[in-house]
Every structure is written in structure tokens, then in C-alpha cells.
Structure 1
Amino acid sequence: MLANRNKNQQTADNVFFSRWKRQIQYAWQNVFNDFRQHILASLLTIIVIAISITLPTIGYLLWKNANEAAHQWYPTPNLTVYLDKSLTTAQTDELLDKIKQYPEVENINYLSRDETLDEFRLWSGFSDAIDLLDENPLPAVAIVMPKDDAKQTNILHAIQAQIIKLKGVDDVRLDDSWFTRLTALTDMVKTIVWTISILMIIAVSLVIGNSIRLAIFARRQTIVVMQLIGATEGFILRPFLYSGIFNGFVSSVVALILSEIFIFQIDAIILNVSSIFGTIFTIEGLNWDEALFIVLISTIIGWLSALVATKKYLNMTHIA
């Protein structure tokens, strides 16, 4: 008895799987047949969606490479601590140990008075004039390198206020003007990219939804007949949902190809410009995880847009 029950259960599972497989094959066959029958309109729809995906993708690539160029061309923001000239070696070591204990500090580069004089003589061009001086007028300097999570304007100013209160510190300088401007610029680019991305997501949803709506109207008589013979709502919806997935997936792949073409076209120009500034910088394209994320998001948007459009227009025409 138990063996017969298991056999019947296995047979029922096989029948269900076979039926489910045939329904999926039927839905995808309808998608490909509809694409072949309206190939020009389908291609135009895919191109429009692909361009809508390409624009925020290119914006993201520009923001990504701008950050990379900023880290390559600009130095790390740091604090320059000028020490009291009267400090002894032991007092200087004690002061540096206090500064190192701050959780935001990663490293300290110490320059003695003689080393700062040599640096000034090397870069100023006044070596002959410096030799005429009776004593070294320059103090010892400690260059404080902050940690990565502390490279923010408000945190750097807070560290500056704390260090300047220490005994033996004459002054603390923070040259963060370029850092503030760079942060504002990258934040602006990021905001623009997000805004374009949101608008493009809306555009993609509308384009896919409109194409699905037209497909429903073109096949509304067939849908009525399918309902009259007992077709379920899921069976009716499945071809349209798969059409949205197909449009989103293919369009995202085309968008990735267009993005790579854009990178290839401007890479030589950027390389030429960067060589003028005495550095070598190449444009980076999308990583595999980034490309997969774009394909996944586009496919999900295609499915959701098709689901909303199909539900809406089936209900409006009283088909579902």
C-alpha cells in the first residue's frame, strides 16, 4: 500500500512537472514568435530601452573613474603639526606618542629641524640665503596621516582642534580646500547619476509597459477565447511576463555593449590628456559583478513593468 502511494505521488509529480514544462515552453514560444512577427517594432523597443539603461551606466562609469583619478592625482589629506623649537628629544617622542594614540590617526611622519631645513633648501631655491643665517629658523614637523574612515572634513577639523591643545604644539595646519572641492564635485556627480538613473528606470518601465499593453490589445480576442475554454490567469499572464523579462534582459546586454564601446572610444582621449599632466590614467569599464547587477535589475524591472501593465489592462477590459 505504501509503495503504491509513493508511486502514485511520483506519477502525480511527474505529470505536474511535465505540464509546467509545457506551459513554460508555450509561453517562450509565444514570446519568440511575437518577436519574429514584429521584429522591427521589437528592435526599436529594445534600442530605446538599451539607450535608457546606457545613460545612467555611463554616468556611473564617469563617477567611478573620477573617484579613481582623484585618488591617483591628489595627495591624501593630512595634518601638519609644527612643534615647539624648545622641545627636547624625549619630550618630542612623548608628544608623538600622544598623537599616535588618537583612534583616527594611522601614521605619523616626523621631520626634525635639520630635515625640514634640508627640505626647504631643496624646494625653495634659497640655499645661499639660508646659509647666511646664524641658526635654523624652522621648527620640527610631524605630518599626521589619518585613517581612511577619518578622511572627512569635519573629522579632520576635530582632530586639528584636539592636537593644537597639546603642550609643545605651536600650530596645526590642514590644507583641505582641494579635498572639500573634490568631495563636493564627486557628490554632485553622484547626485546627478542617481537622478538620471531614477528617471531612466521610470522611462524603461513605461516603454516596457506600453509594449505589453499593445501586445494585449493585439491579442485580446485570443485571450477571451482562452478564458472561455478555462485557461487560468497565470497561463494567460505568463507570455506577457516573459516578454517583459526578455525585453529587459536583451536591452541590458545591448546597454553593456554600448557602454563598452563608449569606454573604448574615450579611453585613447583620456590617456592622451593624462600624459600631458605627467601621469598615466586609463578608463575602467564595468566589473563582472556590476554588469551582472545591471542585467539583474533590468530583468526585474521588465518583469515588474509587464506584471503591472498586464494586470491593469486585463482588469480594465474585464478579461481577467
Structure 2
Amino acid sequence: MNRWLSHHRYALRVALHRLRLHPFSSAANIVIISLMLTVPILGAAVLESSQPLARQLAVTPELTLFLAPHTSSADQQTLLARIQKESGSKINQVRLLPRDQAMAQLRADPAWAQALDALPENPLPDAIIVTLKDSTAPAQEAAALTQTWQQWPGVARVQMDSEWVRRLESLLSFVRMGLGLLAIAVGIVVLATVFNTVRLQALTQREEIAVARLVGATESFVRRPFLYLGALTGFASSLLAIALADLALIPLNTILGNFAHSYGIQWAIHLPASSDLLLWGILIVILGAVAARLSVTRHTRF
């Protein structure tokens, strides 16, 4: 166990020494990777911080159940009770809108009053207005409830008032897809940068590696410092990316704060949770080590 630990301590010291031997190129690689990492971190921060903003806008998704003609009051109350019983966990409020009340609301609008006077009778059906609770996927829930309620007896048609939901989810889906593509691009940049760095290091240390093999060094002993080099590059890049993202949020929050205040809402962008950042950093370290492993396996066969 002590021997294994000593080998790893030696490999870590060698990796740090090689980083110090080429400070400019090492710093350049770390900065390039960190700049690429900063963009998805900021994107994730905006995406997470937009969720409370959507709730502050106080937009309520509604479904309107238009009842079949001549539906009795008892049947209407039965439908109300059934909605509450079967979908109560997804519903914030449900109310009955009688046809006469709906007509009165339309007549209160001067733009409709004259046209409605020409009608011989009230053409509007009785309706049930259902307000849904907030959820992570409101459009899918509204569509599922619409399909279910459409099959119920006494319901002529269900109207899903969720155009805003579709737009919001389309925007969020676009952002998530963009973040996914950015994450893939970051992974490629990490792999390519570390791969090239380790390749140059392996070629530079070619004679040293040959001598180490002559005196009995194993392949693991020769390659281990390069793995630490890749992991250290990923670790330093992750820390710098988090610091850059945190600094970038200062002017962004100043501008967004003034904008949100003009609309009477509170909105500030915060970095993702520490656990998410930690997981992201570990992934980058692993990618750096993997890239180093691929490069050193390919370029130390001499």
C-alpha cells in the first residue's frame, strides 16, 4: 500500500513539475478549456434561475370543458366532483361557468354588445373552467387531461388554453438542447486539448521515458504522470471556469435586476448548485485523464 501511494505521489510531483516547465502553454490550455466551460455553466445558471421567474409571472394554465347542450345541473355537479376526485392533485381550482353568466360577461364588452343583440338566443354552452397547478411539464399534463376529459359523457369539447405553455416549453427545450450541444463541444475541446498537450509532453520526454524503461520502469509507471497531467489540467480549468462564470454574473445581474424591477418582479441569476458544479468538475477531470490515457498510449510506443 505504501509503495502504491509513493508511486502516485511521485507521478503527481512529476506532473506538477511538467506543468511548471511550460507555464505559458499550460496556462493557455487551461484558459481555452475554462472559457469553453464557462458558457454552459452560465447557460445552466440562466435555465435554473428562470424557473422561479416563470412562477412570479403569475400565468395560470387553464382548461375549459364545454358541456353538451341540455346537460342538467345534477350532471354538471357530478362532473365537477369527478374532476376533483380523479385529478385533484393536478388542479388548483375548478369552477362552473353557466352560459348566462358567460353571455353577461361578453355583453359587458362594448365590442361584442351590438353583435350579441342580433342573436335570437344565447348560443354559448355551459362550461367548467379548470386551473392547473404549476408543474415541470404543464403542456404534457394539460394535453393528457384534455384527452381524458374529452371522452367523458356530457363533455362536448375541451379547449386547452396553453399556448403560452407551449412557447415556454419550446424555449426551455431549445435552451436545454443548446446546453447539450455545448456540453458535447466542451467535451471534444477537453479531449483534443489535453490529447495534444500530452502528445507534445510525451515527445519532449522521449529520451527520459526510454531511459526509465531501460532501468525497468513499467508501462504504468511511465504513463501515470501523464494521466495526472491531464487530470490536473481538467481540475484547474474547472476551477477557473467557475470563477469566470461567477464574475460574469455580477454585471449580468446588475442589468437584469434593473430590467426586472421595471416589471415589478425579482430576478437574479445564480450559479448552479454546488453538487452540480462538483459533478461537472469531476466529469472534466475524468475527461482530461481519459484524453491523456489515449494520447500517452498512442505516443509513447517508441
Give the TM-score of the pair, scaled to structure 1: 0.79
Using the alignment, how far apart are the partners of 1:82 and 1:20 within structure 2? Answer: 74
**Does 1:230 find its partner at 2:197?**
no
The count of corresponding residues between Structure 1 and Structure 2 is 292
How far off its partner does 1:37 sit?
A: 2.3
The superposition leaves residues 271-319 of structure 1 with CA deviations (integer Å, 9 ceiling, x where unpaired) of 111122221111121211111011101110111011000001112xx2x
Q: In structure 2, what is the equivalent of residue 61 of structure 1?
A: 45
Q: State, as a whole percentage, how many aligned pairs show the same letter.
A: 25
| Superposed structure 1 runs of 4+ greater than 6 Å apart | none
Q: Contact 1:27/1:238 (CA < 8 Å) preserved in 2?
A: yes
Q: Against the structure 1 CA distance between its residues 254 and 181, is the aligned structure 2 distance closer, same or farther, given a 3 Å change threshold?
A: same
Contact 1:66 1:186 in 2 (8 A): no
Is residue 258 of structure 2 the alignment partner of residue 269 of structure 1? no
2:19 alignment counterpart: 35
How far apart are residue 68 of structure 1 and its match? Answer: 4.0
Aligned pair in 2 of structure 1 residues 233, 269: CA closer, same or farther (>3 Å)? Answer: same
Distance 1:95 1:112 in 2: 13
Task: Identify the match of residue 206 of structure 1 among 169, 180, 192.
Answer: 192
Q: Which runs of 5+ in 2 are unaligned?
A: none
**Aligned equivalent of 1:242:** 228
Return the offset for 1:232.
Answer: 0.6
User: How many Å apart are 1:120 and its aligned residue?
Assistant: 4.6
C-alpha RMSD over aligned residues: 3.3
Task: Give the match for residue 3 of structure 1.
Answer: none
**Partner of residue 178, structure 2:** 192
Name the TM-score, length of structure 2 as normaliser.
0.83
Q: What CA distance in whole angstroms lies between the structure 2 residues aligned with 1:157 and 1:256?
A: 39
Residue type of the alignment partner of 1:106: K
Q: 1:164 to 1:209 in 2, by over 3 A?
A: closer
Letter in 1 for 2:27: L
Report how far residue 162 of structure 1 moved.
Answer: 4.1
In structure 2, what is the equivalent of residue 9 of structure 1?
Answer: none
- Write the distance in 2 (CA, Å) between the matches of 1:82 and 1:53: 51
- Give, in whole Å, the separation in 2 of the partners of 1:222 and 1:115: 92
Q: Which residue of 2 aligns with 1:142?
A: 129
CA offsets, 1:121-156, max 9 Å, x none?
9xx677xx9xxx9xx989564325268477334x53
Within-5 A mapping of 1:28-107: 28-73=12-57, 75-83=59-67, 90-103=74-87, 106-107=90-91
Residues 12-64 of structure 1, C-alpha deviations (whole Å, 9 max, x = no match): xxxxx232222222212112222222222211111111112112222222333
Q: Could you tell me which residue of structure 2 aligns to residue 109 of structure 1? A: 94
The one-character-per-residue Cα deviations of 1:56-102 (angstroms, maximum 9, x if unpaired) are 22222233333443343252423123457966654332121222344
Whichever of the two has the greater Rg, that structure is 1
Q: CA shift at 1:202, angstroms?
A: 0.4
Q: Give the alignment of 1:146-185 within 5 angstroms.
A: 148=135, 151-153=138-140, 156-169=142-155, 171-185=157-171
- Preserved contact between residue 62 and residue 129 of structure 2 (Cα < 8 Å): no
Distance 2:143 2:288 in 1: 48
Closer, same or farther: CA 150–295 of 1 in aligned 2, 3 Å: closer
SS of match in other structure, 1:75: coil
Matched residues in 1 for 2:134 and 2:261: separation?
30
Bigger RCO of structures 1 and 2 (CA < 8 A, at least 6 apart): 2
Asked if the contact 1:47–1:251 (Cα under 8 Å) also holds between the matched residues in 2, the reply is yes
